[in-house]
Structure 1
Amino acid sequence: MTTEAYYTAAVRFVLDAEGGYVNDPDDPGGETKYGISKRAYPSLDIKSLTIEDAKRLYRRDYWGRASCDALS
């Protein structure tokens, strides 16, 4: 499997688990969409976030920072 295929599978896993927009006052994560939280991205309009936006954030801020492409 290529690193791109691993990334695609990882993102699919997260998106399947996280779902869409939620703003539950009892949820400690606060406002979230596709697993992206307002707490982590305070200047981002979470409600308007697209799946493609979320994928770009995952690649840049999580996959890339953890150097996942370098894992075997």
Structure 2
Amino acid sequence: MDIDSLINDVIDREGGYSNQAADAGGATRWGITEAVARAEGYGGDMRRLSRAQAAAIYRRRYWAAPGLDGVAAVAPALAAELFDTGVNMGPVAAASFLQRALNALNRGARDYPDLLVDGRLGLRTAAALSAFLALRGRSGEGVLLKAVEALQGEKYLALAEARPANEAFLYGWLANRIG
């Protein structure tokens, strides 16, 4: 799946304008929070953020900036999941989930060195991903995908446990963001 399709899927799933009191993200349009829109230079009313503006923010902030093109070149399904996770939890969280999974799957650093879990998809993370996929073959991407989704699911549960207002979103997060 290409980035345009991924962006369209996210925008379609997120819908138009929302400003629910229980949502800590506040006002959103097309899934873009007001804070993110402002950080990306948008100064207008959130109700008027265009779909094209939202798509540009998704491409720049959640695909290009974290370096998901490199992941997509070797593991496209994993890149799609990291994009979606980054949209919902932030790119640092998505990259951290991948780094944690790669560390846990490197058989005591015998297959490749442990990574610093810093939430950045740099050269070391790329090398570890390539080494893992070279050793595990086609099934490796699926295993990494499951590990990232398991970490994401655990984070959703922790968010709901820590802030009861998040319980209103837990079902949707699990239904729409995992698997």
**TM-score for the superposition, normalised by structure 1:** 0.79
Equivalent in the alignment of 2:15 = 19
| Residues 39-58 of structure 1 mapped to structure 2, 5 A cutoff | 39-42=35-38, 44-45=43-44, 46-58=46-58
**Bigger fraction of residues in helix:** 2
Equivalent in the alignment of 2:153 = none
Question: C-alpha distance in 2, partners of 1:20/1:62?
Answer: 19
**Residue ranges of structure 2 left out of the alignment (5+ in a row):** 74-179
Structure 1's 44 and 37: CA in aligned 2 closer, same or farther, altered over 3 A? farther
**Residue ranges of structure 1 left out of the alignment (5+ in a row):** none
Structure whose CA Rg is larger? 2
- Quick check: 1:38–1:44 contact (8 Å CA) kept in 2? no
Structure 1 stretches of at least 4 aligned residues deviating more than 6 Å after TM superposition: none
Question: C-alpha distance in 2, partners of 1:18/1:65?
Answer: 21
Letter in 2 for 1:11: I
How big is the alpha-carbon RMSD for the aligned residues of Structure 1 and Structure 2? 1.6
Count of aligned pairs = 68
Deviation of 1:26 (Å):
2.1
Equivalent in the alignment of 2:68 = 68
Question: C-alpha distance in 1, partners of 2:24/2:65?
Answer: 24
Question: C-alpha distance in 2, partners of 1:41/1:9?
Answer: 21
